[in-house]
Amino acid sequence: MSIAEVEPQTETSLKVIPDATCTFCGCVCDDIELTVEDQQIKQAKNACVLGKAWFFNHHIEDRPQALIKGQPATYEEGIARAVEILLNAKYPVTYGLSDTTCEAQRKAVAITDWIGGNIDTTTSVCHGPSGMAFQTVGETTCSLGEIKNRADFLIFWGGNPAESHPRHFTKYSLMPKGDFLPKGRKDRTAMLVDVRKTKSAKAVDIFLQIKPRSDFELLWAMRGLAKGIDVDPRVEEKTGIPLDKLDDIVKQMKQAHYGAILFGMGLTMTRGKHINSEGLLGLARDMNQHTRWVAKPMRGHGNVTGADNVVTWSTGYPFGVNLSRGYPRFNPGEYTTSDLLARGEADAAMIIASDPMSNFSQPAREHLAKINSIVLDPKLSDTAKVATVAFTTATYGINVPGTVYRMDDIPIPLRPAFESPYWSDLKILTAIEKGIREKQLAVN
Amino acid sequence: MNMPKTFILIPGRTSRQGTGLNEGKYSNDYLDEINTVLINPEDMQRLGLQDGDTVRMWTDYAEVQVTCKTDKGECPPGIVFISYGDKSSRLMQGETHGSGMPTSKGMDVQIEKVIAS
Ligand code: SF4
């Protein structure tokens, strides 16, 4: 049954939503003014090019409520089949969650707990390695508001905010005037460290073009300089950066009033992974012997930070958590979805707002296509195409209210633009949980 | 005959990849963006490539065919860039070395021309 057939929209309406929240990237800008007409967003004032594309392209599509093995079905039929799959699985995995509300994330953890499954989020293939590094090194952290008001030395490391987080520079870090930086950009020194001379290089004062796969060595050399330890000049051969230049940079860093390192997946996705993040977090920590320095990961998806928070406060660990023994166990590499699919371990999967069939390794995709899976997504995806049950959902932030966390762990409420005839992730997951509990209680 | 050459592949996000993603993963813009590898002009010449040629790009684990385009000053010689998506992820290894994260940036790839545009 198609939604458009059941609920035709005839009314014309025009409304303005002030302070709407964009959930396309981790900046989670909450100052967007939306103009909505006939269930279509016509204007998105203040949004960047990515935010505009997000708001303008999430209209109501005419798709079935659910597909069971490719055949149109109702939500109730899809939910009944999903309950059956999850209850019959020996090793079910719940995955995704970075593009949905905290309320839905919480429900997904609950379901996984009831069925003794494995819960993991897209963090494991994003800043998961940084999550591991936080556990070993700790985090000298701050809010983006502190960066805006205080940071007079900014280092962007292994990321290209000009293209991936377009308003980061203008709203939070590089450009804005702050309480202690009345001249804004002029009061700040900015540096970019990257292998490629990306569009972000144009925005900074110092660009360090490093050799690929040498972040760890460069960070370790900088840590040495920060601590006043002699560093081997051969660091230049490995990293491409001369030692005297590095020494000069660290001296400047020591003179800053407040420094912030904002790091991207250039660190976590490259060989070294969590030890690259460890090096960077260690550098930020060491710099506090001289002056205030902080480090924050640049997070990609709108609520990936919320996923970390919700999974952490409910299980004690941020991602890759196994609940099969009735208590949480954390082991990246073992309980992370990419690995357990590539090894052919899971026998069922529930994927929420994510598309592993187009971004996992080949062996992981092959296994996912073989097992029973339940997919919740507003749009058709390669993962939805291979799913046993694929639900069409309403889009968070545009149709669905709730809470998301900005990349600096600040919770922000959503102010949806218009209602969708499709169900939210939360509503579907709540129904699945209810179905599971009824069956479990009937047996016991 | 141009022999295949070894490069370091850096997949990443671009503005067009982001806007295309919102238009839909089956939109022309998105598909075009994630199926195009950017190569330094010197390397294009060494491989005998013109913009729009199809190249075979492979790792020890998988191979893909993509269109090539001359990079405009972002990639130094020896480094190639592709927008993060289906093709870049296919080249990854399943193994994550106990991190949960497959090596998805800085992969060693070989590239050779297969079809001229
Ligand atoms: S920077 Fe990110 S959150 Fe802000 S408007 Fe652009 S896409 Fe949306």
What pLDDT does A8 receive? Answer: 44
Which atom of ligand 1 is found nearest the CA of A23?
3
Whether A51 lines ligand 1, by a CB cut-off of 6 Å, is: yes
Residue A301 Cβ contacting ligand 1 at under 6 Å: no
Q: Which domains, ranges and CATH numbers included, belong to chain B?
A: 5-113 (2.40.40.20)
The pTM score is 0.94
Looking at the fold, whether A270 and A374 belong to one and the same domain comes out as: no
Write the DSSP symbol of residue B106.
S
For ligand 1, whether the C-beta of A249 sits within 6 Å is no
Domain end (from A275, A297, A319): A297
Mean pLDDT of B6-23: 90
A266: chain B residues, CB-CB within 8 Å:
12, 105
Per DSSP, helices labelled H in chain B are 15-23, 28-34, 41-46, 86-90
Phi, psi of A323 (to 5 degrees): -115, 15
Q: Is residue A21 part of a domain?
A: no
Number of structural domains in chain A? 2
Q: What pLDDT shows up at residue A12? A: 63
Q: Which domain holds residue A372?
A: 66-126+302-397+421-443
User: Residue B25: its pLDDT value, please?
Assistant: 87
The per-residue pLDDT for B104 is 86
User: Most A CBs within 10 Å: which of B29, B101, B105, as the mutation test of the A interface?
Assistant: B101
Closest CA to A292 of A320, A266, A326, A256: A256
A257 and A228 both lie in a single domain: yes
Same domain, A317 and A198: no
Domain membership flag for residue A122: yes
Claim to verify: residue A145 and residue A86 sit in the same structural domain: no
C-alpha A360/C-alpha A366 separation (Å) is 10
**Based on the domain organization, do A142 and A161 belong to the same domain?**
yes
Q: Whose CA is nearest to atom 3 of ligand 1?
A: A28
Query: pLDDT 10s digit of each residue in chain A, 444 long?
Result: 444 444 444 456 789 999 999 999 999 999 999 999 988 999 999 999 999 999 999 888 899 999 999 999 999 999 999 999 999 999 999 999 999 999 999 999 999 999 999 999 999 998 999 999 999 999 999 999 999 999 999 999 999 999 999 999 999 999 999 999 999 999 999 999 999 999 999 999 999 999 999 999 999 999 999 999 999 999 999 999 999 999 999 999 999 999 999 999 999 999 899 999 999 999 999 999 999 999 999 999 999 999 999 999 999 999 999 999 999 999 999 999 999 999 999 999 999 999 999 999 999 999 999 999 999 999 999 999 999 999 999 999 999 999 999 999 999 999 999 999 999 999 999 999 999 999 999 987
Report the candidate in A115, A117, A120, A132 with the shortest Cα–Cα distance to residue A96: A120
Say if residue A392 is in the same domain as residue A340. Answer: yes
pLDDT (0 to 100) of residue A1: 42
Where residue A93 sits, what CATH number does that domain have? 3.40.50.740
Which ipTM was obtained for this model? Answer: 0.92
What are the distances in angstroms from CA A56 to CA A26, A39, A44, A48?
19, 11, 8, 12
Distance CA A366, CA A428 (A): 27
Tens of pLDDT, residue by residue over B33-42, are 999 999 999 9
Query: Of A244, A278, A297, at which residue does a domain stop?
Result: A297
Measured between beta carbons, the chain A residues lying within 8 angstroms of B96 are 332-333, 336, 338-339
Q: Which residues contact A368 (CB under 8 A, 6 or more apart)?
A: A341, A349, A356, A357, A360, A383, A386
Count of CB atoms situated within 10 Å of the CB of A364: 25
Q: What residues 48-67 of chain B have any CB closer than 8 A to a CB of chain A?
A: 61-62
User: A380 — contact with chain B (CB < 8 Å)?
Assistant: yes
Q: Is A165 on the interface with B (CB under 8 A)?
A: no
Please tell me the distance from the alpha carbon of residue A191 to that of residue A177, in angstroms, as a whole number.
Answer: 18
Mark which of A252, A278, A297 sits at the end of a domain: A297
